[in-house]
Chain A
Amino acid sequence: MRTARTAATLMAVVALAAGCSSSGGKTSEDKADGSTGGKSAGTPRLKIAMVTHSGEGDTFWDIVQSGAKQAAAKDNVQFLYSNDKEAKGQAELVQSAIDKKVDGIVVTLAKPEAMKAVLAKAKDAGIPVVTINSGGEFSQRFGALTHIGQDESVAGEAVGRELDKRGRKKALCVIHEQGNVSLEQRCAGVKKTFKGTVENLNVEGTDAPSSQSSIEAKLQAAKDIDAVVALGAPTAAVAVKAKQDAGSEAEIDTFDLNAAVVKSLKAKDVGFAVDQQPYLQGYLAVDELWLYKTNANVIGGGKPVLTGPAIVTEKDVPKLEKYTARGTR
């Protein structure tokens, strides 16, 4: 027993000593970082809560948060983030933010009807609300100051047009979260402007190997599919794998950016990406609440503020690479 343990320790030490990688890894990471601390505004400390419908560990919401945190640091704001992918849970989180008597609430409206009642309560409590991301058409009706985000249908339509431009005939729209309204809207938008046919496929977004084999199966079953539209950056990486393994010639296109997608754009594994600037959604939402609290400003004058869609291709890679690597684009 003892000798076994000593041997294991020895092996670990030897492995550590001999096991360094001369390429990649932390040491090669670029230390240059654009975000500076700086001084915050001299206004009184505010407390702003953001409640989203995100699942655990989605890169997109991470970027939204880093935008929000940057604005919070600038505006002397204490930023509180919480999320629940179940509509009921999200409403409860908004309620607890109201109970905490925060100075402002940022909320997503992926499941609008579920948020209606609790946002009315926020209004009664005199807490200003800014909605972000999807569900812009409900924002004003629910009493929010403004909406900052992307119209999902418009984004889908942009993808449809881009696919036409690229001469595609049959597209597969991969929905990674069944029953999510904004994802359905994206696919519907693609269908609206795309001259070819669009088919939908539901996959389990939290299980990459299972998603991959499902997309693979679909590409094997319908060999005439020449474009796969992923609705989120993590799904794009999975789709690239699936395409290679299925031996398909389809072009992979995606909604949203992250470091991996930018890499794939560069390697021409992904044709184009639709960016909705999540950083801006987080940043502007916090900034807007601060402006409202300190100067009664409303960005966009009550109209939704659009942060997308912007089509990003291989040509945009050089200027984006640095920012995606640090998680702000």
Chain B
Amino acid sequence: MSAAAPGTPPLTDERLLKTSPLRKLMGRPELGSVVGAVAVFLFFAIFADSFLRASSLATVLYASSTIGIMAVPVALLMIGGEFDLSAGVMVTTSALISSMFSYQMTANVWVGVGVSLLLTLAIGVFNGVMLTRTDPPSFIITLGTFLMLTGMNLGFTKLISGTVSTKSISDMEGFSSAKDVFASTLTIGGVDFKITILWWLALIVVATWILLRTRVGNWIYAVGGGEDAARAVGVPVNKTKIGLYMGVAFGAWISGQHLLFSFDVVQSGEGVGNELIYIIAAVIGGCLITGGYGSAVGAAIGALIFGMTSKGIVFAEWNPDWFKFFLGAMLLLATLLNAWVRKRAEATK
């Protein structure tokens, strides 16, 4: 143990210190959130009778995955130092595009799904290009996109379908195979798991690989840590940011297709407010709001904490009038625990 005791400054340059694997683990951004997640899990395991059943845990995982599919790319974007407030309604936009395109063109549902992917990615490109070509911060630019998409969702749906929800496409060709991909249920050991859990896990793996094992990952950390410095050493800052926005759009596409294929019809007013939940999940999971620090696994665990808390309260059958209060209090406690653990970890580094 060559590191100094907590509280006293290290005697040599900290970069030259040898760190033990345990210390290395303590320095990971997701550590605090893991402790928070375990605490929330134990809490509901004790206070909610039906929480520990396999079917209940599958429900919790489903709820977490619908947040997590978006929280992972949103976390990458935040590590890159930017926000996307349009992420919540973009999910609805993506679902509306595939539904209405398929219906109006009487096309195979997969064609609509493909068109939706292209158009949703185009929205991501729009966000990224607007950000890199103009001055305003991403907060303002994506706020604009958020409001425009909210209006377009309603406006186009009414213009095309005549009502505020899309028409059912469940009797069209390709629907059942698309449903298998985006909204099916897998039975493992008698317990039904939603396929979104697999999408979620896949996104975590891919995002973690990009962040830790590729050059692009280094670019993302560099861009979020200091844009000018990154540009000075030759990082393609603009391309990285546009790519990150496209990542969020890709997540929105997956979530949107899930929304469409699990309910057949899409309500055009949905998704507003979810963008904050994605950001919250990323922050609970250890992402810094200022960028440059965080991890995909952390964001996924943040989503898990959110999912466990919001459904755990229902399992515990507490007074529903106080639901939001309990939700807020639990999240605050989990985050405080997270921050405390991280501080201890940094102090012992």
Main SS at interface, chain B: helix
Chain B residues whose CB sits within 8 angstroms of the CB of A59 once the complex forms: 163-165, 267
B320 lies within 8 A of A208 (CB): no
A209's contact among B107, B164, B258, by CB below 8 Å, is which?
Answer: B258
A19 lies within 8 A of B110 (CB): yes
Within 8 Å of chain A (Cβ to Cβ): is B162? yes
Interface residue range, chain B? 35 or more
A179 CA / B267 CA spacing, docked (Å): 22
Within 8 Å of chain A (Cβ to Cβ): is B33? no
Within 8 Å of chain A (Cβ to Cβ): is B27? no
- A1-32 vs B, CB cutoff 8 Å, 1 = contact: the mask equals 00000000000100110111111111111000
Chain A residues whose CB sits within 8 angstroms of the CB of B315 once the complex forms: 217, 220-221
**In the complex, how many angstroms separate the beta carbon of A70 from the nearest chain B beta carbon?**
13
A312 CA / B290 CA spacing, docked (Å): 55
A26 lies within 8 A of B106 (CB): yes
Within 8 Å of chain A (Cβ to Cβ): is B265? yes
A222 CA / B315 CA spacing, docked (Å): 8
B269's contact among A25, A56, A178, A200, by CB below 8 Å, is which?
Answer: A56
A15 lies within 8 A of B111 (CB): yes
B320 lies within 8 A of A21 (CB): no
A245 CA / B104 CA spacing, docked (Å): 31
A24 lies within 8 A of B171 (CB): yes
A21's contact among B50, B60, B108, B158, by CB below 8 Å, is which?
Answer: B108
B59 lies within 8 A of A25 (CB): no
Give chain A interface residues in 85-132, CB to chain B under 8 Å: none
**In the complex, how many angstroms separate the beta carbon of A15 from the nearest chain B beta carbon?**
5
A234 CA / B321 CA spacing, docked (Å): 22
Chain A residues whose CB sits within 8 angstroms of the CB of B194 once the complex forms: 245
A137 CA / B267 CA spacing, docked (Å): 31
Given the interface contacts A56-B150, A327-B162, does A220 sit within 8 Å of B272 by beta carbon?
no
- Scoring A28, A55, A210 by chain B CB atoms within 10 A of each residue's CB, the highest score goes to A210
**In the complex, how many angstroms separate the beta carbon of B66 from the nearest chain A beta carbon?**
4
A26 lies within 8 A of B103 (CB): yes
Given the interface contacts A57-B157, A208-B270, A260-B265, does A26 sit within 8 Å of B168 by beta carbon?
no
B262 — nearest CB in chain A belongs to which residue?
Answer: A241
| B interface with A by C-beta (< 8 Å) | 48-50, 53, 55-56, 59-60, 62-63, 66, 102-111, 114-115, 150, 153-154, 157-158, 162-165, 167-174, 185, 192, 194, 258-259, 262-265, 267-274, 307, 310-311, 314-317, 320-321, 323-324
19 additional A-B pairs beyond A200-B321, A208-B270, beta carbons within 8 Å, are A21-B173, A22-B173, A24-B106, A25-B102, A26-B103, A57-B267, A57-B269, A62-B158, A206-B271, A207-B270, A213-B59, A213-B60, A214-B63, A220-B56, A220-B315, A221-B56, A247-B192, A258-B165, A259-B168
| A interface with B by C-beta (< 8 Å) | 12, 15-16, 18-29, 55-59, 61-62, 175, 178, 199-202, 204, 206-210, 212-214, 216-218, 220-222, 234, 237-238, 241, 245-247, 258-260, 263, 326-327
